[in-house]
Amino acid sequence: MEWRWDFTFDVVLPRLWEAAGITVYATFASFFLALIGGLVLMLLKTAKNPVVSGIATELIELIRATPLLVLIFFLFFVLPEFGLTLPPLATGILAIAIYNSALMAEVYRAGLQAVPKGQWEAAIALNLSTYKTFRRIIIPQTLPPIVPALGNYLIAIFKETPLLSFVAVAEMMHAAKLIGSEYYRFTEAVTIAGLFFLVMSLVSAQLVRQVETYVKRSIQH
């Protein structure tokens, strides 16, 4: 069976283009949720109370040991039992966000721990307020190692969104599967979807690299 360009341009591209919007939306929504969730998990993990930090540590380990697909199915089937019926897209975004916040918590923690202890002591010695300590001393030193890692998670999340097709979210992979089963032609749809992911992740990897140099330069004056 040969490649059909008319089919590609008339059917595949318009429908995948529509679905690309959902993919990008799901990517950014779950990325921002995971940014916040990761921060919360990190704060819980580094809490003074050993019970709280112990529970947070085990929770992070459990989430990290679970495949994302299992987490998506789990939320998809379990949330309705607790009376919380969300649309598939929201459930999927929530699952990706939870999964990645466990991973991002470690990134935040590593970034904070990379700040030498002397910096904290110096800030106390100079009688800086807590706000000023974070704003002027700690966060500027935490950002350079964190930003590229978080950027890589953005790309990773982007490549995880096809999993949402398992719970019938109308993102790109789902659209490609639908086209394939409607016309019985998988070649064009799946290939174009693959190319789209390839191009998008190469472009965004380049963007992450630029943000990285920008952050480094703006902090080192």
Helix and strand numbers (H, E) in the chain are 10, 0
Minimum gap (Å) between residue 23 Cβ and another protein: 10
Q: Each residue of 67-104: b (16+ CB within 10 Å) or e?
A: ebeebbbebbeebeeeeeeeebbbbbbbbbbbbbbbbb
Helix (H, G, I), strand (E, B) or coil at 86: coil
Minimum gap (Å) between residue 163 Cβ and another protein: 6
Which one, 123 or 169, has the nearer CB to another protein?
169
Compute the distance between CA of residue 168 and CA of residue 50 in angstroms, rounded to an integer. 41
Which one, 140 or 180, has the nearer CB to another protein?
180
Which one, 29 or 163, has the nearer CB to another protein?
163
End-to-end C-alpha distance for the chain, whole angstroms:
59
The footprint of another protein (CB under 8 A) covers: 1, 62, 65-70, 73-74, 77-78, 81, 159-163, 165, 173, 176-177, 180, 186-187, 190-191, 193-194, 197-198, 201-202, 205
- Angle among Cα 199, 200, 206 to the nearest 5 degrees reads 95
- Greatest CA separation found in the chain? 75
Minimum gap (Å) between residue 133 Cβ and another protein: 34
Which one, 97 or 200, has the nearer CB to another protein?
200
As to burial, measured by CB atoms within 10 angstroms (0-12 exposed, 13-18 middle, 19+ buried), residue 140 is middle
Which one, 63 or 150, has the nearer CB to another protein?
63
